[in-house]
């Protein structure tokens, strides 16, 4: 195929030129104001993130969330909630890449498959800290401009702009199945 070949056209379009997915598990150590006796609950809220292309090979997601831990102290006679803001950076390698991109301008779409979630929350062995195990998962897509070559159909059809070329009349066979009194019938 040559550039001037009359049977082909080049179309410039935005397309997915890269994809990646990453699952992350990590532990956070939280120091409450009192020595914990037991863990009563743990939840993760206020998840925020931003994604950008870091290199030709990866996308970087920077995010944050709040870890809230409800615990008892003073031999299980009092309770308190401790909140800690956690920031993170996930580098997601692109497992699918298309190097036929026209320019260096890219859009990145990041979707959360698994919101940050508490897997386990326990009192550390030294008894003063609380260890929280968190999981999260992202999928990313990189969108860029690419060039497609398409073959043009050399046969001309009669489907031009002329509406008269279309026959919109009903045939006798089509009219045969129509029951004219269908609205007057009682079921």
Q: What is the mean pLDDT of residues 81-91?
A: 96
For the chain, the helix, strand and coil percentages under 3-state DSSP, each to the nearest 5: 5, 60, 35
- 186 pLDDT tier (thresholds 50, 70, 90): low
The runs of H, that is alpha helices, within the chain are 172-176
Token duo for residue 92: 């997601």
Look at residue 165 and tell me if it is in a domain: no
CB 128 within 8 A of CB 134: no
pLDDT for position 26: 95
What value does the mean pLDDT of the chain take? 86
The DSSP secondary-structure symbol of 161 reads S
Q: What is the mean pLDDT of residues 73-97?
A: 94
Tokens 């993130």 found at = 49
pLDDT per residue as tens digits for the range 16-34: 989 999 999 999 999 999 9
Domains contained in the chain, number: 1
Look at residue 109 and tell me if it is in a domain: yes
User: Residue 107 belongs to what domain range?
Assistant: 8-151
- 100 pLDDT tier (thresholds 50, 70, 90): confident
CA gap 177, 9 in Å, rounded: 47
Least confident of 83-87, 119-123, 165-169: 165-169
CB 106 within 8 A of CB 17: yes
pLDDT per residue as tens digits for the range 122-131: 999 888 899 9
Look at residue 17 and tell me if it is in a domain: yes
pLDDT for position 120: 96
Look at residue 173 and tell me if it is in a domain: no
Evaluate if residue 145 carries a pLDDT over 70. yes
Look at residue 166 and tell me if it is in a domain: no
CA nearest neighbour of 32 among 93, 145, 102, 121? 121
Is residue 3 helix, strand or coil?
coil
Look at residue 93 and tell me if it is in a domain: yes
Q: What is the mean pLDDT of residues 138-156?
A: 85
Evaluate if residue 187 carries a pLDDT over 60. no
CA gap 128, 28 in Å, rounded: 14
pLDDT for position 167: 62
pLDDT for position 7: 81
Look at residue 183 and tell me if it is in a domain: no
CA gap 94, 134 in Å, rounded: 23
């Amino acid at each position: 195929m040559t550039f001037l070949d009359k049977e082909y056209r080049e179309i410039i379009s935005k397309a997915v030129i890269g994809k990646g997915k990453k699952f992350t598990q990590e532990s956070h150590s939280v120091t409450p104001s009192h020595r914990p006796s037991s863990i009563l609950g743990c939840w993760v809220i206020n998840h925020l993130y931003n994604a950008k292309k870091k290199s030709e090979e990866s996308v970087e997601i920077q995010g944050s969330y709040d870890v809230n831990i409800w615990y008892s102290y003073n031999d299980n006679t009092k309770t308190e909630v401790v909140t800690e803001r956690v920031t993170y950076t996930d580098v997601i390698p692109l497992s699918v890449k298309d190097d036929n991109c026209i320019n260096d301008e890219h859009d990145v779409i990041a979707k959360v498959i698994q919101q940050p979630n508490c897997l386990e929350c326990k009192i550390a062995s030294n008894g003063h800290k609380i260890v929280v195990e968190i999981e999260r998962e992202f999928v990313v897509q990189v969108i860029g401009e690419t060039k497609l070559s398409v073959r043009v159909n050399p046969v001309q059809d009669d489907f031009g702009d002329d509406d008269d070329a279309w026959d919109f009349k009903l045939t006798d066979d089509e009219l045969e199945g129509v029951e004219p009194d269908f609205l007057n019938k009682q079921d």
